[in-house]
Amino acid sequence: MTEERTGDPLGTHRSLEPRGALPQPAWRLDNEMSECFTTEILVDVRVLNVDAASFRQMEEASGGEPGGVERAILATVRERGKQHNPVTGSGGMLLGRVARVGSAVRDRGVKEGDAVATLASLSLTPLRIDRILEVRPASAQVAVEGQAILFQSAPFARMPDDMPERLALALLDVAGAAPQVARRVRPGDRVLVLGAGGKSGLLCCAEARRCGATVLGVESHGPYAQELRGLGLCEAVIEADARDPLAIRDALAAHGGEVDVAFSCVNVDGAEMAAIVATRQRGSVYFFAMSTSFPRAALGAEGIGKDVELFIGNGFAEGHAEHTLNLAREPGPLRELLHRRYA
Ligand code: NAP
């Protein structure tokens, strides 16, 4: 082990291309873990929770070939020193145990051996993978042996001890979604959720309902639409393709028309206009989906004269981890479904 060197709280000391850049936009990071820096927490990684849009892109690009996602992950990490999907630009997060704590981060409340989940994206987390043990497509989780670095400025969560680890990891991956719903939705609002049957979609529907809204869900995957109906959170669950804005508009017409707030939680690109078309003038659209295109949304809204507020989904919100874990802890059918699907 080498002597500890001074690191930057934001992690710029790890950026190789371009040198000194912030680690998220950097093309390549230094993932040599024998180097110790004062501002770093070294983590022995056990599970990667790959971002849903990224996982789906890798599945599609490999044509569903066995081992395709595994090869794509290994190639990305080899080339970039991080799991930063070059096509979707997104990452995910990880679960592991603290292996070393730098001298400048001893006040962060973790010690060697603690189980932690990173709440900073894998797209900025230096990562070395020694071995992939298992790829689990249903949850986009990948069991690995390897190591990663958590920078001084990066949020993380201790793993809760009252729920299965895989479920907690799945929830923490999308922890930013439900708190944003709570900030934006008022009692009596009509709310649309695209991709409503997926992980973040379910949480958004539950939070919107808790805020006193009428919730309409759009989900293209039949079994997920059916499970969502069974929760009783939505006034209607529309089984449709969110990339077809006119179909969504027409389907909504049968359920009261435009909504006050729309949340996009799909894992595919091309759903921007459905959310915008479905929202009333001066309403708001929150794009949690990483597959969202800024120009498509901004220029698309302008092009159809839609004066709606467009929000980019920030993965971080103060207290988001506890907020989301508490939502999933509430007894009832949502909790049961989350356990069944993700635990
Ligand atoms: P997820 O569990 O895969 O849910 C996405 C849902 O959308 C799935 O049920 C999916 O069905 C459905 N869907 C796919 N294509 C659709 C279409 N054309 N029309 C309607 N529904 C469709 O994903 P997640 O983990 O909740 O993540 C959702 C999005 O949030 C992703 O884009 C992810 O990148 C993003 N994300 C953002 C942040 C952030 O910080 N902003 C953090 C984490 C994740 P299938 O089962 O058929 O795929």
Q: Determine whether the shortest distance from the Cβ of 83 to ligand 1 is under 6 A.
A: no
* Three-state SS at 248: helix
Contacts of residue 288, defined as CB under 8 A and 6 or more positions apart, other chains included, come to 174, 176, 177, 180, 200, 204, 263, 264, 265, 313
79 Cα to the center of ligand 1, angstroms? 26
Q: Is the CB of 101 under 6 A from ligand 1?
A: no
Determine whether the shortest distance from the Cβ of 217 to ligand 1 is under 6 A: no
The rounded Cα 339 to chain-centroid distance in angstroms is 18
Dump pLDDT digits (tens) for 230-287.
999 999 999 999 999 999 999 999 999 999 999 999 999 999 999 999 999 999 999 9
pLDDT (0 to 100) of residue 284? 98
* 267 Cβ inside 6 Å of ligand 1: yes
Q: What percent of the chain has pLDDT over 90?
A: 98
Ligand 1 center to residue 180 CA distance, Å? 16
Spans of all domains in the chain: 12-159, 177-342
pLDDT of residue 3: 80
Cβ 286 under 6 angstroms from ligand 1: no
Band the pLDDT of 2: cuts 50, 70, 90: low
Ligand 1: centre distance to CA 52 (Å):
6
- Give buried/exposed letters for 74-112 (b at 16+ CB in 10 A, else e): bebbeebbbbbbeebbbbbbbbbebebbbebbeebebee
- Ligand 1 binding pocket includes 28 (Cβ within 6 Å): no
Q: Whose CA is nearest to atom 46 of ligand 1?
A: 221
CATH superfamily of 177-342: Medium-chain alcohol dehydrogenases, catalytic domain (3.90.180.10)
Residue nearest to atom 29 of ligand 1 (CA): 289
Residue count (the chain)? 343
SS3 162: coil
Alpha carbon of 61 to ligand 1 centroid (Å): 17
- The single residue listed with the structure tokens 């973790």 is 110
Distances in Å between the alpha carbon of 252 and those of 107, 207, 236, 311? 51, 21, 9, 22
Query: Whose alpha carbon is nearest atom 43 of ligand 1?
Result: 174
92: left (phi over 0), alpha (psi -120 to 50) or beta: left
141 touches ligand 1 (CB under 6 Å): no
Closest CA to 266 of 301, 221, 300: 221
pTM greater than 0.85 (yes/no) = yes
Nearest CA to ligand 1 atom 40: 315
Distance from the CA of 201 to the center of ligand 1, in angstroms?
Answer: 7
Residues 156-202 have pLDDT tens digits of: 999 999 999 999 999 999 999 999 999 999 999 999 999 999 999 99
Q: Could you tell me if the CB of 172 is within 6 A of ligand 1? A: no
For ligand 1, say whether the CB of 289 is within 6 Å of any of its atoms: yes
Q: Which of 58, 85, 172, 200 best tests ligand 1's pocket when mutated (most atoms within 8 Å of CB)?
A: 200
Q: Is the peptide bond before 245 cis (omega within 30 degrees of 0)?
A: no
User: How far does the centroid of ligand 1 lie from the alpha carbon of residue 235, in Å?
Assistant: 21
- Ligand 1 neighbour 30 (Cβ under 6 A): no
Q: State mean pLDDT over 137-158.
A: 95
Q: How far is CA 104 from CA 41, 117, 272, 287, 303, in A?
A: 10, 20, 43, 36, 51
* Residues 208-236 pLDDT 10s: 999 999 999 999 999 999 999 999 999 99
pLDDT score at 303: 97
The CA 268 to ligand 1 mean position distance, Å, reads 7
Q: Which atom number of ligand 1 is nearest to the Cα of residue 176?
A: 40
